[in-house]
Amino acid sequence: MKKVLQDLTKEELSALVEGLGEKKFRAGQIFLGLMQGKRIDELPIPSSLKARLLETYENEPVKIAETLVSKDGTKKFLFALADGNLIEGVLMKYVYGNTQCVSTQVGCRMGCKFCASTLGGRVRDLTSGEILSQILVVNRAEGGTLKARAVTNVVLMGSGEPFDNYENVVRFLRHVTAEGGICISARNISLSTCGLVREMKRFSEEGIPLNLTVSLHATCDEERARTMPIANKYKIPEILDACAGYFEKTGRRYIFEYTLISGENADETHALALAKLLKGRPCHVNLIRLNEVKERSLKAAAERDAQRFLEVLEGQGISATLRRSMGSDIAGACGQLRYSRIFPDGKIP
């Protein structure tokens, strides 16, 4: 595979262009074009320079291969990478703007039992430019520009564990928030982790005040380990400590994702235990009913049980929201679309 030009910062592009013996202002033209979601062959530069760049760099590292539109307006994108790997993303439309969910790895090796992204394991990490390009091409396809962006918010909740690809994800975050580029503020970005405590602590020192989100899905380690293998490595108290550390450094309250699974974690006793665990912490709980994955046997909690869970949390003074499940008619859950395209017969290899 060739290299990804979108991996480079504006300064790195300048060095590259100068190294090729070209005039400095070309770097600005290249940067602007790339940020507009353009391919190298479309950049407003001389064809000789295009040809030289194309010797080393991918023309189109991330390409929209398929777009599915849900009844609720949610769009699901299947992206093809230059090496033929597929990843996916979602664009959710809200009154305050459009939120794009991006992938950070091809597949995932965290092994959560409810998640389709883990079905084939981790194939490879995405480069920072491949993560960024998902946003650039969708912003363009949706008619957005750098001034009037069609993508206003970003969540790192697609396939992959962001902190299992730490360096590239942090590089991506620096690029996506940088002035002069697509420039999405850290406040409008959420990063979701299954709770890699070591990286959570490291990230607290990066000075990127985004919305740190942790997938909890259980109230004690034994139950958590039933669906999330990572629970064998890091315990809930360590996760809570790391969250507190993030709050101390950034002043940002943190968020817990809690997927409601019938017979697993969705009873009133679980709601009370969760409230007890989180009481007094500067956090918010996002509840979502399991998006059922056909290759997995887990079932979603009933709507009324989810409602009851929310009421119990709120009654205990915990800030919580029950999220609408969006795009379920278009394989909205993590990894489902990619998986259905790689293994159309639904068989796990």
**Is the Cβ of residue 59 or residue 85 nearer to ligand SAH in the bound state?**
85
Is 88 catalytic? The answer is yes
Phi-psi region of 113 (alpha: psi -120 to 50; beta: other; left: phi over 0): alpha
Q: Least CB distance from residue 39 to ligand SAH, whole Å?
A: 28
**Which residues would be at the binding site for ligand SAH (CB under 6 A)?**
110, 112, 114-115, 157, 161, 192-194, 215, 257, 259, 288, 290-291, 293, 333-334
Residue with tokens 């230059």: 82
Residue 261 Cβ, how far from ligand SAH at the closest point, in Å? Answer: 8
Catalytic residue, candidates 88, 130, 161, 199:
88
For ligand SAH, the closer CB: 31 or 256:
256
Determine phi and psi for 39, rounding to 5 degrees.
Answer: -80, 160
**CB-nearer residue toward ligand SAH: 42 or 267:** 267
Nearer to ligand SAH, 89 or 129 (CB): 89
Catalytic residue flag (residue 112) = no
Q: How far is the CB of 307 from ligand SAH (least distance, A)?
A: 17
> Catalytic pick from 108, 115, 243, 334?
334
Taking alpha carbons only, the member of 101, 108, 53, 64 closest to residue 86 is 64
DSSP strands (E only) in 34-167: 62-69, 75-81, 86-94, 97-101, 105-107, 122-125, 153-156
Q: DSSP string of 134-180? A: HHHHHHHHTT--SSS-S--EEEE-SSS-GGGGHHHHHHHHHHHHSTT
CB of 114 to ligand SAH, least distance (A): 5
Which residues are known catalytic residues?
A: 88, 334
